[in-house]
Amino acid sequence: MTRYFILIAAIIAPFLTYWMIYRLTNKVNKKFPLILLSLISLSLLILSLIYFRISQSERAGLKYTPPKYQDNKLVPSQIK
């Protein structure tokens, strides 16, 4: 759940920050810098995805076996 919150925040944060600065001060240019804010948002999104990739706790080379039924019993999933 935290992962989704960080991804959504990375997308929305530049636009929300600009809007708050615009509302609090009248010194900001009234032209909405959509391209610049989109590039900042995209870079934050890419940085958060890189962070999630680096901080992944699973080791490489593990094999995932999905849950299945054997003899009318549910065998849970396994990571070996």
Q: What would the two tokens of residue 3 be?
A: 């992962």
Helix (H, G, I), strand (E, B) or coil at 76: coil
Q: 0.75 exceeded by the pTM?
A: no
Query: Which residues make beta-bridge pairs with 69?
Result: 74
Residue 37 and residue 22 in contact, taking contact as beta carbons nearer than 8 Å = no
pLDDT score recorded for residue 73: 92
Residues of the chain short of pLDDT 50, as ranges, are: none
Residues making up the chain, counted from first to last: 80
